[in-house]
């Protein structure tokens, strides 16, 4: 069912087809701008030297293009006791949201 093709819902002429898995991803997984948000609070880098203190936090990952599958082979036999899946996407890209903090440490001796 996932790899069967149906007319694309946004196509006016009806000539463009899309996989059911892409339509399912749009309806069940992706948000309004066809992306997946993964909120995080992860320290990527934390360091200091004699002059500065540096901190880099990863706040959010946003994945685009998960609904651009153009080929799917699901549950194909790879031997007597193994199965494999193969997916091919037109494009997938990632947007990362970082917060970078640099504190300058100055010591004045009089």
With respect to residue 74, please indicate whether it lies within any of the assigned structural domains. Answer: yes
Domain range for 71 is 32-104
Residues 6+ apart with CB under 8 A from 69: 19, 21, 22, 25, 87, 88, 89, 90
With respect to residue 6, please indicate whether it lies within any of the assigned structural domains. Answer: no
Q: How confident is the model over 53-103, as pLDDT tens digits?
A: 999 999 999 999 999 888 888 777 788 888 888 889 999 999 999 999 999
Of residues 18 and 62, more confidently modeled = 62
Would you say residue 12 has pLDDT above 60? Answer: no
With respect to residue 16, please indicate whether it lies within any of the assigned structural domains. Answer: no
pTM of the model: 0.67
With respect to residue 38, please indicate whether it lies within any of the assigned structural domains. Answer: yes
Q: Average pLDDT for residues 39-48, to the nearest whole number? A: 91
How many domains would you assign to the chain?
Answer: 1
With respect to residue 110, please indicate whether it lies within any of the assigned structural domains. Answer: no
With respect to residue 25, please indicate whether it lies within any of the assigned structural domains. Answer: no
Q: How confident is the model over 22-36, as pLDDT tens digits?
A: 888 888 999 999 999
């Amino acid at each position: 069912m996932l790899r069967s093709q149906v007319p694309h819902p946004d196509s006016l002429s009806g000539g463009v087809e899309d996989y059911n898995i892409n339509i399912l991803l749009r309806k069940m997984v992706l948000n309004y701008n066809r992306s997946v948000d993964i909120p995080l609070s992860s320290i990527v880098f934390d360091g200091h030297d004699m002059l500065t203190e540096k901190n880099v936090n990863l706040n959010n990952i946003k994945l685009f293009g998960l609904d651009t599958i153009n080929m799917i082979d699901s549950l194909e036999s790879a031997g007597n006791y193994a199965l494999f899946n193969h997916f091919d996407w037109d494009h997938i890209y990632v947007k990362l949201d970082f917060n970078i903090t640099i504190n300058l440490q100055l010591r004045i001796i009089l």
